[in-house]
Chains A and B, each alone.
Chain A
Amino acid sequence: EPEVTQTPSHQVTQMGQEVILRCVPISNHLYFYWYRQILGQKVEFLVSFYNNEISEKSEIFDDQFSVERPDGSNFTLKIRSTKLEDSAMYFCASSGVTVYGYTFGSGTRLTVV
């Protein structure tokens, strides 16, 4: 069964540093998403991406965040200057036909110290 792959599985970074979380979506999927889950809280939508541009973003997704599909296979989430409250599990997802066919990755646990 096709998978969405996320790397690294766990990243520790110092406050103020930039981090890039990487995702390899399923190869024929066209819609890409990032979600996050702060420990003990609900999974929250960050951003959706289609046709090389952001199609929807949440209030959480401020100027510190950006997404990119640099080479046609990877889908990255960049946090420019991390804050302690960015510590969370970040999930990438992709789908072929919008919400009907979501597949989630295993997540990257980001710890900001």
Chain B
Amino acid sequence: AQSVSQHNHHVILSEAASLELGCNYSYGGTVNLFWYVQYPGQHLQLLLKYFSGDPLVKGIKGFEAEFIKSKFSFNLRKPSVQWSDTAEYFCAVNAQGTDKLIFGTGTRLQVFP
């Protein structure tokens, strides 16, 4: 069965600090990978996704993620966070050939001015 692990449950940063959120998945086949963000009181929004090709993908709001197949990882990064990045971040995996997303438990990011 597929599973997704997000090791950082709660991250607290100051503005301008760099961010890296870990995501590892377990699945032997081909996967599509996603990062979603949920701002307080809002719906899940897609930050970025990886299907194939360049393993370094760039998303909205300055976020990027790198797929490292050998490590089954898809870590999210941002060089300089802003207060407005305060939100919950979810990594998700989809096994090719299925419709469903398997989510990690989420990482709550708090950015202080």
Contact = CB atoms under 8 A, between A and B. Distances in A.
Do A and B originate from a single complex?
yes
Contact of A56 (B32, B100, B105): B100
Interface in A95-113: 98-100, 102, 104-107
B104 A106 contact: no
Main secondary structure of the interface of A (DSSP, over half): strand
B94 interface: yes
Contact of B42 (A55, A100, A102, A106): A106
A91 B99 CA distance: 15
- Chain B interface size band reads 20 to 34
A2 B40 CA distance: 20
Interface in B83-104: 90, 92, 94, 98-104
Contact of A44 (B36, B44, B46, B103): B103
B113 to A, nearest CB: 27
Interface in A25-50: 31, 33, 35, 41-45, 48, 50
Interface residues of A, number: 23
B101 A45 contact: yes
B72 to A, nearest CB: 18
B100 A45 contact: yes
Interface of A: 4, 31, 33, 35, 41-45, 48, 50, 55-56, 58, 91, 98-100, 102, 104-107
Given A91-B43, A100-B32, A104-B44, 9 more contacts: A43-B101, A45-B102, A48-B100, A50-B99, A58-B100, A99-B32, A99-B99, A106-B42, A106-B43
Interface of B: 4, 32, 36, 41-46, 49, 51, 90, 92, 94, 98-106
14 contacts: A42-B103, A43-B92, A43-B106, A45-B101, A56-B98, A56-B99, A56-B100, A99-B94, A99-B100, A99-B101, A102-B46, A104-B44, A105-B43, A106-B41
